Amino acid sequence: MPDRLKVVTIDGPSGVGKSTISRKLAARMNFTYLDTGAMYRAVALKCKQNGVDVSDEAAVALLLENLDIQLLPALSEKEEVRVILDGKDVSSLIRSPEVSMMASAVSALPSVRECLTRMQQQLGASGKVVAEGRDTGTIVFPEAIWKFYLDAAPEERARRRINQLRSRGEVVHEEEILAQILKRDRDDSVRTIAPLKAAEDAEVVDSTRLRADEVIEHMLGRINRK
């Protein structure tokens, strides 16, 4: 068995607060935050920009040959990581509802997963990383020391997503957001490759009734014990 990696993995469905929690936990531990979802979003945006159909795996695979993604720390505590795709800052573009749905579709393609998993493993190879996604505890860093699976009721996740989008000044339709969350859950869980599920050695944390800071304290407590 390989040495265990000084990596924290945080997986779970969309809208569960993984990004906020992972980013703040990484800051508290002085670790680097690795937002793997942002990388799937960047590939989806690249497809959109090049007019490539996300169900056409051969065409998507061609785009991967010239994929240049850089993740930079957020400018403030409230913001997500900055994502540079092919030299341009696409941090806002990758967060649109359309790109979210496309990201779910590209994430089901084996060639995309292989490519991004390899990049993520390189980024985490020396440890001191908090990796956030759907398969970071199961596939990307199976040897991570600390693994969490964050969950919350879909209605609560929809409520949080709606607040987040509204705080950015976007007009949102509540039922649409809940429907999108349920669809993405279904798509992410039933896909044959790297389906969304907790690693056997992950601790499942239900955050439906917990604030982000409470979840972080709980995780830090666990981490300090191991």
Q: Least CB distance from residue 97 to ligand DC, whole Å?
A: 11
Q: Least CB distance from residue 3 to ligand DC, whole Å?
A: 23
Name which position in 23, 24, 41, 147 contacts ligand DC (CB under 6 A).
41
Looking at the Cβ atoms of 36 and 164, the one nearer to ligand DC is 36
Name which position in 52, 60, 103, 177 contacts ligand DC (CB under 6 A).
103
Please give, one letter per residue, the 3-state secondary structure of the chain. Answer: CCCCEEEEEEECCCCCCHHHHHHHHHHHHCCEEEEHHHHHHHHHHHHHHCCCCCCCHHHHHHHHCCCCEEEECCCCCCCCCEEEECCEECCCHHHCHHHHHHHHHHCCCHHHHHHHHHHHHHHHCCCCEEEEECCHHHHHCCCEEEEEEEECCHHHHHHHHHHHHHHCCCCCCHHHHHHHHHHHHHHHHHCCCCCCCCCCCCEEEECCCCCHHHHHHHHHHHHHHC
Name which position in 9, 20, 22, 36 contacts ligand DC (CB under 6 A).
36
Looking at the Cβ atoms of 133 and 142, the one nearer to ligand DC is 133
> Which of the residues 143 through 202 are near ligand DC (CB under 6 A)?
184, 188
Q: Which parts of this chain interact with ligand DC (CB under 6 A)?
A: 14, 36-38, 40-41, 103-104, 107, 133-136, 184, 188
